[in-house]
Amino acid sequence: MQNPRLTIIVPCYNEEAVLPKSAHILDGILTDLIQHKQVNAASKLLFVDDGSQDKTWKLIKSLEKQYSTVTGLKFSRNFGHQNALMAGMQVASPTAEIVITIDADLQDDPQVIPEMVARYRAGSDIVLGVRNDRSSDSLFKRWTADGFYRLMKRIGVQLVPNHADFRLLSQRAVQALLTYEETNLFLRGIVPRLGFPTTKLYYHRQPRFAGVSKYPLRKMVAFAFDGITSFSIAPIKVILLFGMVISGGSLMMMLYALIQGLLGTATSGWSSLMTSLWFLGGMQLIGISIVGEYVGKIFAEVKHRPRYIIETDDYTATQQPAIVNSQRVHG
């Protein structure tokens, strides 16, 4: 096997606090791989600026001058983490035999990247970075994460527990992934569906050395719900089940009220009436909201708007001219 060309894709959103150190570490790892002839000398680091509001893009431009391996890609605005990953893969796929995606904070251990490459050379098209424990997380986060993975498994979604977006993909795996054209991306659910030879590589997650997490609780909940509704109609089935249970209960209550009326023992019950009304009203609103979520996803998909718009592409400028002309379609 010839030395494959590797592109390490790093999505960035307001990461000026971590970029200098992250670039230094990743450049060192990539340079070492090149020197040991594990990857091609044309391999690159691709930092994708997802519409940052700080000095992230200026730093990327500065890093391009400092490191020969560094290139950048800039969105016209913020399009989201998953779209940043897809953009990086689409731009890199014509020339890179393998891509590795990793977040800029390097909490996912970059020191296992050489082993990822070794697994690829041994025949794996997909190498998933999987956390070996969640001891660095709070008790609440561990509990909610475990509950999420159990729920996804129960509703039939193929997820790898404790795997986020730290992975290696071969060129053919990337090309297959790019055929998924949905607007609502949940890569953790799509990648296991590709079906190519896959291995798991376990690592210990590191604490964030600077900056703040870009996934607070609100975004984590939204991301989890997006994953559920992108791959399963189970929530609608749950609503149907609740509706059947409540309808059955209502029939029983009607029968009970009829019997009480015939016996002449019926009494007015304002509290029970109001409780029933509030409960049923709440269930209806929940049901409408969940169905609306699916309708909204359909609305977003059928418009076929681009998932992202690239403002500046320094990566293709370093490739062959023929490749530059082929990179004008942005999802």
pLDDT at residue number 205:
86
Helix (H, G, I), strand (E, B) or coil at 314: coil
- Give the whole-angstrom CA distance, residue 331 versus residue 327: 10
Return the DSSP state at 330: -
pLDDT at residue number 330:
46
Q: What is the pTM of this model?
A: 0.76
Q: Could you please report the per-residue DSSP string of 169-233?
A: EEHHHHHHHTT---SS--HHHHGGGS-S-EEEEEEPPPPP-SS--S--HHHHHHHHHHHHHHH--
Q: How far is CA 150 from CA 56, 158, 229, in A?
A: 37, 11, 15
* Main-chain dihedrals φ then ψ at residue 17, nearest 5 degrees: -70, -25
As a whole number of angstroms, the longest Cα–Cα distance in the chain is 93
pLDDT at residue number 259:
73
Q: Under 8 Å CB-to-CB from 49, ≥6 apart: which residues?
A: 12, 13, 56, 57, 60, 72, 73, 74, 75
- Give the whole-angstrom CA distance, residue 19 versus residue 178: 27
Cβ proximity of 169 and 177 under 8 Å: yes
Query: Which tens digits make up the pLDDT trace of 112-136?
Result: 999 999 999 999 999 999 998 766 6
- 126-131, strands of its sheet edge to edge: 198-203, 126-131, 163-170, 98-101, 6-12, 44-49, 70-75, 310-313
Q: Residue-wise pLDDT tens for the chain (331 aa)?
A: 678 999 999 999 999 999 999 999 999 999 999 999 999 999 999 999 999 999 999 999 999 999 999 999 999 999 999 999 999 999 999 999 999 999 999 999 999 999 999 999 999 999 999 998 766 666 767 777 777 777 777 767 778 888 889 999 999 999 999 999 888 788 888 898 898 999 999 999 887 666 566 556 666 666 666 766 676 666 777 776 777 777 666 667 667 666 766 776 655 665 566 567 767 776 777 777 777 777 777 777 777 888 899 999 999 877 754 333 333 334 4
pLDDT at residue number 325:
35
pLDDT at residue number 85:
96
Domain spanning 6-142+157-212+305-325, CATH class: alpha beta
- The residue type found at 272 is S
- Which of 235, 247, 244 is closest to 291 using CA atoms? 235
- The residue type found at 242 is F
